[in-house]
Structure 1
Amino acid sequence: MTTIKEIAAKSGFSPATVSRLLNNDPHLSVTPETKSKILKVANELGYFKKINNVSDLKPEIALLYRVNGNEQLQDEYFSFLRDAVNKVGKEKGIKLTFFTELNELIQQASIFQGFIGVGTAELTYKELEKLHVVLPNGVFIDINPAPELFDSVQPNLELTVQDAIKKLIAHGYDNLGYIGAESFTLDHKSQRDIREITFTEYCKTRGIKNIEVFAKGIVSVKNGYNLAKEVVNKLGKKLPDAFIIASDTLSVGVLQYFNEVGIRVPKDTAIISINNSDVVKYVSPPLTSYNIDQIALSKLAISVLLMRITNSELPQVHLTMNTNLVIRKSFN
């Protein structure tokens, strides 16, 4: 195994300085140039890959944070996720360096052993291929933009939708609706979202013949509002017994329009949403929503990244985590 002395000899710094840096000593004061040189040498010598006990690993990790800044509620979800990753990293004694620009991370990649990605706004597959060349150890949270290149940890949205359908059936509902957005590839090509596909196919397997699907556009409050308008224009007062809505952001827009036209939730139609963001407690009525445990996602992501750093030859790993339903007044 590569030793502290070997890294010190090649980098030109004392073993004490190297040891303190590699163990993330918060009281160590060194220049960025010193830090960069020591970590680059440690990477070149394979120091981090040869640590047998993952719990002893204290790597330098980059946090790549990419959101579009156009949709407050959706961006807040990723903002909370970013904060959760930082919190878990601190608890584990792992230092994370924040990046919003991919090219900047690529330029400084040699001092990091891996990265965690939150959001993919304005990223392309070609850009991620360039990142993989210089920093192949990476885990994306909540999304899976390049499964051939990087690991991912995500909420199990397929199981979430199935569970919602089961609960609605158990309450005697046999006329169900779905409101959602489209999913988009990194090359901006539209595709059906897994939540919509699961809703349609699972309703078939459960013998539910009366379904209505409204799914297009992006995840935004405005799109939720417009989709709710389409619902009313098409169906009038003959609404489904309940709607499953793909995200709280869309649900807020749906509720706005329903309230404007006098549709009473849950009396006229019930709503089950997904994400359990802070805002759902304060809308009228408060939304029943599936909770995505962002702290648990962050812990899992960091664990996967540590495994990847020490075992880089493993095939890519893609893990899903269950959600749990928080009952409020939109469905009970």
Structure 2
Amino acid sequence: MTTIKEIAQESGYSSATVSRLLNNDPSLSITADTKNKILEIANKLGYWKDHQEKKIRPTIALLYRVNHQEQLQDEYFTSLKQALISTVEHDALKMKTFYDVEDLIQNASSFQGFIGVVAGPIKDYSLKKLHEVLPNGVFVDTNPAPELFDSIRPNLVLTVKNAIDLFIKNGYDRIGFIGGWGQKHNDIQEFDVRTTKFADYMKARGKSTEWMFADGPFGVDNGYRLGKEVLAKCKDKLPQAFLIASDTLAVGVLQAFNEEKVNVPNDTAILSINNSNVVKYVSPPLSSYNINQQEMIDMALDMLTNLIIKHDWAHMDVSMNTNLVIRKSFVPKAK
């Protein structure tokens, strides 16, 4: 069994300092470099294998990047950020926020790991540089570099399948989809997983994919534009139901539908994704798949702690299931 004395001897610090760090003494004041060195030696000597009940309080960074183009879209990531800050404060952790990856790279030695909440693009070379200096990182909701960093994300693939199955079970045959672009990575515009899964699973269920509208950013204005496009193209053959890829798009679509006197859910039913605060107040209130942000944050911090204290910890890309919150835009038939 690895002892405090062995870690102290190899690290060059006193047994008292090592003990206070590994036992989370809140009054201990040491530099990040000192903390990193002691934890590195503890990892190398296998300390955590014999002390799995212990949890450390690492000094971490938050990499927070959003586009700041759409208030309601930003609300989702702002809420993630606030959930992380509240949890960090409750757990008496130390955290500093960075809005630029290059700044985090320059200050990497001050931290044992980072949490990433990212909606804006980051270049591959920056992510590789970040991994070289701060390899312990967990992204929440998205992961721009799954080959380098861990992540916890909502299971959007299962969400889309569930929505299609639910519509079919309720007798809907003409099912539409409204979505947006995927992430842009290294100047390559990727497809959004909700769009690709909708097309694949509709074909697997023997249903038509002709009512798919996926273009532009995940914002209210674009949802309004897509709603108008839907009405112009579908005319008197409006799909019986729509899955909309996000609440922000759904708010814009509802505006367009309401202007043209389309009655939701009588003329067409709507399911959305995110379950943000605004969906309770639109007309009609949206049935939406809830993404449990607090659970994602809690799991991200647990994953990050394990990465820090266990050098042989298996890397993970974890999917968390969503749950449907029923409101007036779609109410399933009683069983």
- Quickly say closer, same or farther: Cα 1:46–1:166, change in 2 above 3 A: same
Q: Write out per-residue CA displacement over residues 256-298 of structure 1, whole angstroms, 9 at most, x where no aligned residue.
A: 1111121111111111000000000001110000000001111
CA distance in 1, matches of 2:209, 2:69: 35
Q: Write out per-residue CA displacement over residues 68-117 of structure 1, whole angstroms, 9 at most, x where no aligned residue.
A: 21111111101111122233334444332222222222122123221110
- Quickly say closer, same or farther: Cα 1:24–1:172, change in 2 above 3 A: same
Q: CA deviation at 1:18?
A: 6.1
Letter in 2 for 1:138: G
CA distance in 1, matches of 2:234, 2:98: 47
Q: Is the 8 A contact 2:223 2:249 kept in 1?
A: yes
CA distance in 2, matches of 1:3, 1:123: 41
Q: Is the 8 A contact 2:112 2:136 kept in 1?
A: yes
- Quickly say closer, same or farther: Cα 1:144–1:198, change in 2 above 3 A: same
Give the SS at the match of 1:82: helix
Letter in 1 for 2:117: V
CA distance in 1, matches of 2:151, 2:164: 26
Q: Which residue of 1 aligns with 2:328?
A: 329
CA distance in 1, matches of 2:121, 2:174: 39
Give the SS at the match of 2:311: coil
Q: Which residue of 2 aligns with 1:60?
A: 59
CA distance in 2, matches of 1:83, 1:238: 43
Q: Write out per-residue CA displacement over residues 194-217 of structure 1, whole angstroms, 9 at most, x where no aligned residue.
A: 111111111122222364100011
- Deviates most, 41-50 or 322-331: 41-50
Q: Is 2:31 the counterpart of 1:38?
A: no
- Quickly say closer, same or farther: Cα 1:23–1:225, change in 2 above 3 A: farther
CA distance in 2, matches of 1:9, 1:310: 17
Q: CA deviation at 1:239?
A: 0.6
CA distance in 2, matches of 1:304, 1:232: 45
CA distance in 1, matches of 2:146, 2:293: 21
Q: Write out per-residue CA displacement over residues 24-81 of structure 1, whole angstroms, 9 at most, x where no aligned residue.
A: 55555x5xxx523432432553559743326422211211111121111111101111
Identity %: 49
Q: Is 2:154 the counterpart of 1:143?
A: no
The ranges of structure 1 where at least 4 consecutive aligned residues each deviate by more than 6 angstroms after the TM superposition are 8-12
CA distance in 1, matches of 2:20, 2:236: 68
- Deviates most, 184-193 or 223-232: 184-193
Give runs of aligned pairs for residues 230-269 of structure 1, distance below 5 A. 230-269=229-268
Letter in 1 for 2:165: K
Q: Which residue of 1 aligns with 2:179?
A: 180
Where does the alignment leave 5 or more consecutive residues of structure 2 unmatched? none
CA distance in 2, matches of 1:19, 1:61: 20
What is the root-mean-square deviation in Å for CA atoms of aligned residues? Answer: 2.4
Give the SS at the match of 1:231: helix
Q: CA deviation at 1:237?
A: 3.0
Give the SS at the match of 1:45: helix
Where does the alignment leave 5 or more consecutive residues of structure 1 unmatched? none
Give runs of aligned pairs for residues 303-318 of structure 1, distance below 5 A. 303-318=302-317
CA distance in 2, matches of 1:159, 1:109: 36
Q: Write out per-residue CA displacement over residues 113-143 of structure 1, whole angstroms, 9 at most, x where no aligned residue.
A: 2111001424211111000000101110101
- Deviates most, 276-285 or 201-210: 201-210
Letter in 2 for 1:299: D
Give the SS at the match of 1:263: coil
Q: Which residue of 2 aligns with 1:294?
A: 293
* TM-score of the aligned structures, taking structure 2 as reference length: 0.89
- Quickly say closer, same or farther: Cα 1:305–1:54, change in 2 above 3 A: farther
- Quickly say closer, same or farther: Cα 1:240–1:149, change in 2 above 3 A: same
Corresponding residue pairs, total: 327
* TM-score of the aligned structures, taking structure 1 as reference length: 0.90
Q: Which residue of 2 aligns with 1:51?
A: 48
CA distance in 1, matches of 2:11, 2:317: 37
